[in-house]
A and B are shown apart, each in its own frame.
Chain A
Amino acid sequence: MAEEKRLMKGNEAIAEAAIRAGCTAYFGYPITPQNELTAYMAKHMLDHKRTFIQAESEVAAINMVYGAAAAGARSMTSSSSPGMSLKQEGISYCCGADLPCVLVNVARSGPGLGGISPGQADYFQSTRGGGHGDYFHLVLAPKSVQEAAELTYEAFDLADKWRMPVMILADGLIGQMMEGVNLPAQRDLATLPKKPWAAGGQAKDHRPINHVTSINLVPAELEASVKARFKRYDEIKAQEVRYEEVNIDKAELVLVGYGTGARVALGALEMAKKLGIEVGLLRPVTLWPFPEKRVAELAAKGKKFLAVEMSMGQMVEDVKLAAAGKAEVNFYGRCGGMIPTEEEVLAEIRRLLKK
């Protein structure tokens, strides 16, 4: 499949991008608002003679991913918030066993069953290592159908490069809306990175046996392996931080938002501009690692911040940590599936700037 342009739902674009990235094993379980993703995979993975299983549970799905990733495949699962909670056990094991895989959370509102409308209240769970133990993994937050496809395609490479799960944290709005999307070309499976650590295929080169595991009952050894992983995290922080900036230089106040929240913030920024009020936007694309250095630089320059989220305030804590008391950090959010409007954010901007 060559590059092509299509009109697609975010959920479908993520699925198609995964197939083009060389995902050969997908495991899912029905949950709204990501069902189009699983249905798309059901048809197209089978058409490509690749593995698709509708698992008996979210728990089983992530463990099928664990097995397939351990066996060397590019593997993926997708879900939405309550389902991602169930997957956390398996994600911890993937991180503990250094397994590359791609996880998609088309987030809804919570807690509990919550609602099926878009939400951004899984930020803490996604960026702090939602399961047990000391770990992190990359988290990428798309703002559009196009970016959802691009980040998914790239997530498989990042997962293999860093040997860790990479999460796409979208929300129900990104998953459900339709936009034009330029799809990347199909990866040749023969050119994907080799995985000499994976289980299986020993007969080809008679290598020593491989164990894929997270267990180590010798405390000093386990500490050393966790510390080695944290060194890798430092490299990731140095190399993989991504963000987009709009109108930062002229702005006294910088809006900070990701995904759908950033789209709303951008709309408010443009409305403010028409009123002669200059505000900026910092949109983290990587939520982990968070662009903490950039926030610190802007704080040192005397900028104020306004975090805009579809939650009661989660990412804002990363802004505060990075600003380290050197700048004023404000928050505006809606939750429960409510999406802040541009007018609401504009009103907050005017209140803060007294303009």
Chain B
Amino acid sequence: MELIYGHPKSLKPIQTKYCPGCGHGVIHRLICEVIDELGVQERSIITNPVGCSIWADLYFDFDSVQPPHGRTPAAATGVKRVHPDHLVICYQGDGDLAAIGTAEIIHAANRGEKFTTIFVNNAIYGMTGGQMAPTTLIGQKATTAPYGRDADEAGMGYPIQVCEMLATLGGTKYLARGSVNNAANVRKTKQYIKKAFEAQLRGEGFTMVEILSPCPTNWGMQPCEGQEWLEANMIPFYKLGEIKNLLGGAEGGK
């Protein structure tokens, strides 16, 4: 009998430590489904971030490197330059990528480093317990923005649209933003990841998929409320779709 659906081979068959309603588990699975489809499990390397997904090396069944907080794109640069024929995945959260590691992501992207960044944007710091992130929306509450993010009076700044910011850089070839809040968006997100990984394996420059992902625990919501809040608040500001596509051939943008 032909197996048409099962647990991805490159994802270990164990329960994750992530909270109910968290998006990391779904995103891990999407990455592994694509790796299996491309048949590159034994030549994949992930650089893990600091944050909740620091656990990623427990779940991904391929090699991993754990750099300091925010330095993931620099370390992924080193890994990919040494192993140019490997699939190198730079997994980052919003605090890691858009706050402490801003310089590293901008310059890795600008150099056109040939790895793929999976940028999980949940608009909050997860592991440290709900502090304001660079992607926290205006008015959204956090432990360090107890009255809501206030850009003007309290000087908390504005949420950063990372794909749009990186789109100005010459080294970026493919920047897409997906979401894991419903089945249709999960399927689209998987397509983005597959396009990015295939582009990387063809050696086409910097690729990134930003993924809007719920964090009900730190948003103070039930899991299903988290999905609704993401759709009502994050998607209007963080537009879904291919923000930049300069890929060659059939994959290329119109």
Contact = CB atoms under 8 A, between A and B. Distances in A.
Interface string A200-217: 111100100111111100
Contact of B68 (A69, A90, A212): A90
Contacts of B57: 211, 213
A39 interface: no
A1 to B, nearest CB: 22
B66 A65 contact: no
B79 A63 contact: no
Contacts of B76: 67
Contacts, number: 130
Interface in B54-86: 54, 57, 61-68, 71, 74-83, 86
Contacts of A71: 45, 65, 78-79, 82-83
A27 B61 CA distance: 30
Interface in A22-62: 24-25, 27, 51, 53, 55-57, 59-61
28 contacts: A24-B82, A51-B82, A53-B77, A53-B111, A56-B107, A59-B104, A60-B71, A60-B77, A63-B67, A63-B74, A64-B75, A65-B78, A66-B74, A67-B75, A67-B80, A70-B78, A71-B82, A89-B68, A97-B66, A199-B65, A200-B43, A209-B61, A209-B64, A211-B57, A211-B63, A211-B65, A213-B48, A213-B66
Contact of B82 (A72, A211, A213): A72
B81 A53 contact: yes
Given A89-B68, A212-B64, A66 B45 contact: no
Interface of A: 24-25, 27, 51, 53, 55-57, 59-61, 63-73, 75, 89-90, 93, 97, 199-203, 206, 209-215
Contact of B65 (A51, A65, A67): A67
Nearest to B64: A211
Contact of A212 (B43, B65, B74, B103): B65
A66 to B, nearest CB: 5
Nearest to B12: A209
Interface of B: 42-43, 45, 47-48, 54, 57, 61-68, 71, 74-83, 86, 103-104, 106-107, 111
B82 to A, nearest CB: 4
Contacts of B68: 63, 66, 89-90, 93
Interface of A is mostly: mixed
A199 B81 CA distance: 13
Nearest to A202: B42
A24 to B, nearest CB: 7
A133 to B, nearest CB: 12
B66 A63 contact: no
A70 B42 contact: no
Contacts of B63: 199-200, 202, 209-212
Contact of B104 (A63, A93, A211, A212): A63
A190 to B, nearest CB: 16
Nearest to B48: A213
B82 A214 contact: no
A60 B111 CA distance: 13
A6 B74 CA distance: 35
Contact of A64 (B43, B54, B77): B77
Contacts of B77: 53, 60, 64, 67
Given A56-B107, A64-B74, A203 B42 contact: yes
Nearest to A200: B83
A70 B74 contact: no
Contacts of A56: 103-104, 106-107
A210 to B, nearest CB: 5
B67 A60 contact: no
A24 B48 CA distance: 24
